[in-house]
């Protein structure tokens, strides 16, 4: 029986520069792929056009190259994949799995959607999103680092949005369609996306595509507990620090115990050591880790 070649990916949103939190994910996914002689793809998740910042995409790619994190093949842009998402929506409609929803997301206050609009009989005239019908069964999968995940979509999310009220395709749908199309079978990403994985596994089952192997790394937070992210105005990691120093810091965060002397090595030498010594079992099984930047 043949084993499929490892295909991983890094899929940043071009909403700002590459910060330390993103570098952790990029490095972890890069090393996991290369340690298994796999392919590492780069996809730019620019589907949320309102948040895309001019120049951010080029800045992200330059930062990855400066860090020696070279991707395989051509870069894929979600903004060029809209026809595929519309085809997927059409399939869901034909199977009576979608319904229009006029409820603004702010009224939920972080709670699962209670299905208020599920039984609307007439198409709404006002602006509306489309939600997919879910059920009370649990979604289960084994995360390579964090262990077993089992959540009820109804209790965690309710019927979740796949087409937004502003006309944009929702992240959950786009990422499932793209991962399947690109043949991605291993996903290494941050723990902040752990619970949303259930929505994606549900859609994978709906569309009859394979569920990738998942691995969720700890998230970097500041000492007040805030995630280091673009939303929290995280700075460009390469602005005041050299690539080698950043790589050493990221490897340390990931529990890889870089040997003495690597600080004086080149980027390629650091990555060669990291590829040969990558050990997922050393990565802390934690949701978040404070860092000083």
Pick 100 or 291 by higher pLDDT.
100
What average pLDDT does the segment 239-259 reach? 94
User: E-strand spans in the chain?
Assistant: 7-10, 39-44, 76-77, 98-101, 129-132, 138-143, 147-152, 161-163, 186-190, 213-217, 219-221, 288-290
What average pLDDT does the segment 65-76 reach? 97
Task: Categorize the per-residue pLDDT at 2 as very low, low, confident or very high, splitting at 50, 70 and 90.
Answer: very low
State yes or no: pLDDT of 125 exceeds 90: no
What average pLDDT does the segment 18-43 reach? 96
Query: Would you state the pLDDT for residue 105?
Result: 80
State yes or no: pLDDT of 66 exceeds 60: yes
Query: Would you state the pLDDT for residue 230?
Result: 60
State yes or no: pLDDT of 233 exceeds 80: no
Query: Would you state the pLDDT for residue 62?
Result: 96
State yes or no: pLDDT of 110 exceeds 90: no
Determine which of 61-70, 71-80, 127-136 has the lowest per-residue pLDDT on average: 127-136
Tens of pLDDT, residues 155-202: 889 999 999 999 999 999 999 999 999 999 999 999 999 888 999 999
Q: Rounded to an integer, what distance in angstroms lies between the CA atom of residue 216 and that of residue 105? A: 26
Query: Would you state the pLDDT for residue 257?
Result: 93
If you average pLDDT over every residue of the chain, what do you get?
92
Query: Would you state the pLDDT for residue 106?
Result: 81
State yes or no: pLDDT of 23 exceeds 50: yes
State yes or no: pLDDT of 1 exceeds 50: no
Could you tell me which of 164, 174, 192, 158 has the C-alpha nearest to residue 50? Answer: 164
State yes or no: pLDDT of 43 exceeds 90: yes
What average pLDDT does the segment 106-114 reach? 86
Pick 49 or 122 by higher pLDDT.
49
Tens of pLDDT, residues 84-97: 999 999 999 999 99
Q: Rounded to an integer, what distance in angstroms lies between the CA atom of residue 235 and that of residue 25? A: 16
Residue 158 per-residue DSSP state: B
What CATH number should be reported for the domain whose range is 7-79+213-290?
3.40.50.620
What average pLDDT does the segment 258-263 reach? 91
DSSP calls for 168-202 = PBPHHHHHHHHHHHHT--EEEEEGGGTTTHHHHHH
């Amino acid at each position: 029986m043949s084993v499929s070649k490892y295909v991983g990916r890094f899929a940043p949103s071009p909403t700002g520069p590459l910060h330390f939190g993103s570098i952790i994910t990029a490095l972890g996914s890069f090393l996991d792929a290369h340690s298994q002689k796999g392919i590492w793809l780069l996809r730019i998740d620019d589907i949320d056009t309102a948040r895309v910042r001019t120049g951010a995409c080029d800045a992200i790619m330059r930062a990855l190259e400066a860090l020696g994190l070279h991707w395989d093949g051509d870069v894929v842009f979600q903004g060029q994949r809209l026809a595929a998402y519309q085809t997927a929506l059409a399939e869901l409609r034909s199977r009576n799995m979608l319904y229009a929803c006029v409820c603004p997301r702010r009224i939920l206050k972080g709670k699962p959607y209670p299905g208020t609009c599920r039984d609307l009989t007439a198409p709404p005239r006002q602006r509306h999103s489309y939600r997919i019908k879910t059920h009370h069964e649990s979604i289960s999968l084994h995360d390579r680092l964090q262990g077993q995940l089992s959540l009820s979509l109804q209790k965690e999310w309710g019927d979740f949005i796949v087409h937004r009220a502003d006309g944009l395709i929702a992240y959950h749908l786009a990422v499932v369609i793209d991962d399947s199309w690109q043949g991605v079978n291993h996903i290494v990403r941050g723990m902040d996306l752990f619970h949303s994985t259930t929505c994606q596994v549900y859609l994978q089952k709906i569309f009859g595509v394979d569920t990738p192997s998942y691995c969720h790394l700890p998230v970097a937070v500041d000492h007040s507990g805030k995630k280091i992210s673009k939303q929290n105005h995280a700075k460009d990691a390469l602005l005041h620090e050299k690539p080698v120093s950043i790589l050493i810091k990221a490897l340390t965060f990931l529990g890889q115990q870089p040997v003495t002397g690597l600080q004086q090595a080149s980027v390629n030498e650091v990555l060669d050591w990291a590829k040969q010594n990558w050990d997922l079992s050393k990565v802390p099984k934690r949701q978040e880790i404070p860092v000083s930047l």
